[in-house]
Structure 1
Amino acid sequence: MKFGLYSEMQLHPGKTDQQLYDEVLKQIIHADQVGFDVYSLIDHHHFSRFSVSANPLAVYTAAAQLAKNIRFRTALHILPQQNPLRLAGEIAVADILTQGRIEVGVGRGHAWVFPNNGIVPIEEAKPRFEEALQILEMALTEERVTYYGQYYTAEDVQITPRPVQQKMQFTTGGTSNHTYQQAGEKGWGIFVPPLLPLESLREQFDIYLRACDKAGNEPNIIWLHAVYMDECEDNIRRESEQHFHNFLAGNASPAFTGLPDKERMMNAGYQFYAKGILQSLADMSYEQITTGDVVWAGTPEQICEKIDYCVRNIEGLAEIDFLTNYGGMDHWKVIKQQEIISKKIMPQFKTKSKVATY
């Protein structure tokens, strides 16, 4: 079992952009020191309460100067709004500066990104994603790219520099059946959305596993969950409750201001966003989110039981990624969680730490 950390870099009152970035860099360096395998940042723009993580690759190249073993994964590069040829070069530079530790996450993006960005209509999200993906895959494996599509054209374009890794590890994530089908067919890792309970994802897991089996690929399910632990249960609620509420409100905030109408979302393949699930998150009580498996809060022993349940009930589970920095979390609390995970959780499920090579 691999263990990682994931952050949306939510900016809440009381912190500046500079302070948050400084803290995240320190947290990555600490994560490397205590043995985490991978650190992931979202790639997100335009909504500070949701995320100010506008350039994950820059963060990774800065952190890699002192964090010498941990791998770095973006969750996810929003391909419909990227120039894939340019993105390939940026990924290659980051791979060089991190000595071959970059993993590539790709996705269509949240439904609210499209009307607020004003560059790509939401109806073009899926077809643009598919074309950009083909180009990106070629650009990371071939020195020159020729491609003629509806949205992108490239004729014998040289891709430079070249990444250190000859074959990049790809990951995706989301809620649509198509995402899980594609990930299984291509042999990609799949991020599980961090706010959904296990039982709500059975259909998607089955789709992914069947696609992996048919294509002869090894499943690689990555379970994401926000967590807060302490030996004293009173400390858990006192230290985490407001941050959990901030976290959920931050995830829901764009849905109140930036979503297209339901019919457009349904037609564009964003059915999840048309259901109103995100908007309901902000109104949930502490008891609802902790007992409903939206977040994990408990003693290390209780969290080990939750992980053991996931291990026994999710075929293909290969990695647990914790959110420890969410909702304006104090830096000392983040470090506290990383310490507990490394000392109380990881040894129970991980017999050895191994840095992957490709």
Structure 2
Amino acid sequence: MNFGSFMEFHTREGNGQEDAFQESFDHVALAEELGLDTVWLAETHFNPNRSVLSAPLVLAAAIAGRTKKIKIGTAVQILPLGNPLRIAEEVATLDHVSGGRFEFGIGRSGLPSAYNGYNIPYTESRERFYEAMEIIKKAFTEDS
């Protein structure tokens, strides 16, 4: 059995965003020290009073540079909000720079507010998710 910690990089009332980042990085360091297997990063958009985790791949790279053993995963990377080829390239790069410690969790999000912020109709989320997933799978498995 594996053990992990789900993280949203919470902001606390009275603290700034820098505090949220530092507290979360400290949490990751403790998780690694305690022997947890994975930290999972939740992608959250347009809610700075709750979370500063709008760029999970960037934060995963920062965590990879600060840790040695713990795996880093997305829970989840919201595929319909990004360019699938760009995501595939970034994920592949992240897996290399982390020494193979990256776990790629994907989803489409149940929060229409994230889509509204990107001017993407939520009604397109399912179709965009499957299209992005197919493109990313091809990027990982086919020669180009």
| TM-score, with length taken from structure 1 | 0.38
CA offset digits 1:41-97 (Å, max 9, x no partner): 101110123421011222222222331111011111111111000001111111111
Instruction: Find the aligned partners of 2:12 and 2:66 in 1 and give their Cα distance.
Output: 27
Partner of 1:39: 39
Alignment of 1:193-232 (within 5 A): none
Say if 1:118 and 1:62 are closer, same or farther in 2 by CA, change over 3 A. Answer: closer
CA offset digits 1:264-316 (Å, max 9, x no partner): xxxxxxxxxxxxxxxxxxxxxxxxxxxxxxxxxxxxxxxxxxxxxxxxxxxxx
State the shift of 1:118 in Å: 4.1
Alignment of 1:1-358 (within 5 A): 1-114=1-114, 116-144=116-144
State the shift of 1:12 in Å: 2.8
Alpha-carbon RMSD across the aligned residues, in angstroms, is 1.6
State the shift of 1:137 in Å: 1.2
Report if aligned partners of 2:78, 2:109 keep a CA contact under 8 Å in 1.
Answer: yes
CA offset digits 1:104-127 (Å, max 9, x no partner): 111111232355314211111101
Unaligned runs of 5+ in 1: 145-358
Taking only the aligned residue pairs, the percentage that are identical comes to 34
Report if aligned partners of 2:12, 2:20 keep a CA contact under 8 Å in 1.
Answer: no
Aligned length: 144
Say if 1:137 and 1:25 are closer, same or farther in 2 by CA, change over 3 A. Answer: same
Say if 1:53 and 1:114 are closer, same or farther in 2 by CA, change over 3 A. Answer: closer
Which amino acid in 1 is paired with 2:77?
H
Instruction: Find the aligned partners of 1:65 and 1:123 in 2 and give their Cα distance.
Output: 38
Unaligned runs of 5+ in 2: none
Structure 1 or 2: more strand by fraction: 1
State the shift of 1:141 in Å: 2.6
Report if aligned partners of 2:63, 2:72 keep a CA contact under 8 Å in 1.
Answer: no
Instruction: Find the aligned partners of 1:98 and 1:44 in 2 and give their Cα distance.
Output: 23
1:53 alignment partner, SS class: coil
State the shift of 1:7 in Å: 1.2
Say if 1:140 and 1:50 are closer, same or farther in 2 by CA, change over 3 A. Answer: farther
Instruction: Find the aligned partners of 1:112 and 1:8 in 2 and give their Cα distance.
Output: 18
Moved over 3 A (4+): none
Say if 1:115 and 1:102 are closer, same or farther in 2 by CA, change over 3 A. Answer: closer
State the shift of 1:140 in Å: 2.2
Instruction: Find the aligned partners of 1:143 and 1:105 in 2 and give their Cα distance.
Output: 23
Report if aligned partners of 2:38, 2:73 keep a CA contact under 8 Å in 1.
Answer: yes
1:2 alignment partner, SS class: coil
Instruction: Find the aligned partners of 2:43 and 2:143 in 1 and give their Cα distance.
Output: 26
State the shift of 1:26 in Å: 1.8
Say if 1:127 and 1:17 are closer, same or farther in 2 by CA, change over 3 A. Answer: same
Report if aligned partners of 2:77, 2:106 keep a CA contact under 8 Å in 1.
Answer: yes
| TM-score, with length taken from structure 2 | 0.91
